[in-house]
Amino acid sequence: MSWPPTGVRRAESLANHTSFRIGGPAEWFAEPSTVEDLIALLRSAAHRDTPVSVIGGGTNSLVADRGIHGLVLRLGRGFRMVEPLSDAQDDHARVRCGAAVVTQRLVSLACQHGWGDLEALAGLPGQVGGAVVMNAQNIGQFVERLTLVSLGGDVEQLTSAQMQFAYRYTALKPGIITDVMFRFPRAPVGVSADRIHQALCRRNDSQETRLPSAGCAFKNPPGTSAGRLIDQAGLKGTRIGDARVSGRHANFIVNVGQATCDDVVSLMEHIQRRVVQRFGVRLEPEVRLFGERWDHV
């Protein structure tokens, strides 16, 4: 098998593919458009022992300044379909959704079609595949099953039970989610749209949306909020390089200019030390770290 296969690019900047706007290059980068292309790429990479990483919207990801060794995949066009599979009179809506669908498109469709209980997803950045991996806003409660292509190129169907969804956790084995079957309760169209609109307003009031970030840096420890602990440790506004603890939401680290990954990691380590000293609680990163230099966080 010759390398690189058609369409694989060299030294693609990952800062352009993450909401943090931080990160060095992917050694190799590709956006397969079909499942067949994806499988061919994975088999080709496996054949030459090239490590594979996957990125979705890049809104929960922090990439090392030195970049990522190996092949980084981002699903392309053919993974952006949304296919409602039930009739309007069915009591639940079943919807098959490509993993590269922007989560907000799903939310807009919920407003139009009266799919209920999606308000927690209103304003959530990123793509459906990334949201499922992170179980962002408990999206797992709607997942019936999904398709996973293993790093060796084998296609498998997984049920929701196999995913073991929990707070910001899934038991996903290494591979790439290509599509997800959702099951949503029905809600009257106007009601669903109203709730989504209100949720969006609450999010815009409480979260930091104006500066580049990856959302919450740390998971909430049991029974408390990471943001509250960071705030009470007096860390709002603390800055290392161009990485700063948001003054609006203490669990957001924002890039106020040319922040590097090292700036962010150093700030995260500083936060962890101060919160341990003050409260005896060790904060665990929520943001996914790609590349080298993660021994401490």
Ligand X SMILES: Cc1cc2nc3c(=O)[nH]c(=O)nc-3n(C[C@H](O)[C@H](O)[C@H](O)COP(=O)(O)OP(=O)(O)OC[C@H]3O[C@@H](n4cnc5c(N)ncnc54)[C@H](O)[C@@H]3O)c2cc1C
| Residues at the contact surface with ligand X, assessed by CB under 6 A | 19, 54-61, 75, 99, 124-127, 129-131, 133-134, 136-137, 176-177, 207, 209, 213-215, 288
Q: How far is the CB of 274 from ligand X (least distance, A)?
A: 23
Question: Which lies closer to ligand X via its Cβ, residue 22 or residue 186?
Answer: 22
Distance CA 88, CA 133 (A): 29
Q: What is the DSSP string of 274-292?
A: HHHHHHS----B-SEEESS
8-state DSSP, 252: E
Number of neighbouring beta carbons within 10 Å of residue 135: 20
Q: Are 108 and 153 in contact (CB under 8 A)?
A: no
Question: Which lies closer to ligand X via its Cβ, residue 86 or residue 225?
Answer: 225
Q: Are 217 and 287 in contact (CB under 8 A)?
A: yes
Q: How far is the CB of 88 from ligand X (least distance, A)?
A: 28
Phi, psi of 270 (to 5 degrees): -60, -45
Q: Residue 232 has which token pair?
A: 């009470």
Q: How far is the CB of 188 from ligand X (least distance, A)?
A: 25
Question: Which lies closer to ligand X via its Cβ, residue 163 or residue 240?
Answer: 163
Among all residues, whose Cβ is closest to ligand X?
130
Q: How far is the CB of 288 from ligand X (least distance, A)?
A: 4
Question: Which lies closer to ligand X via its Cβ, residue 114 or residue 130?
Answer: 130
Distance CA 136, CA 185 (A): 19
Q: How far is the CB of 53 from ligand X (least distance, A)?
A: 6
Calculate the alpha carbon distances from 2 to 10, 24, 63, 146, 234 in Å: 15, 26, 28, 31, 55
Q: How far is the CB of 42 from ligand X (least distance, A)?
A: 12
Question: Which lies closer to ligand X via its Cβ, residue 57 or residue 140?
Answer: 57
Q: How far is the CB of 278 from ligand X (least distance, A)?
A: 25
Question: Which lies closer to ligand X via its Cβ, residue 23 or residue 56?
Answer: 56
Question: Which lies closer to ligand X via its Cβ, residue 121 or residue 193?
Answer: 121
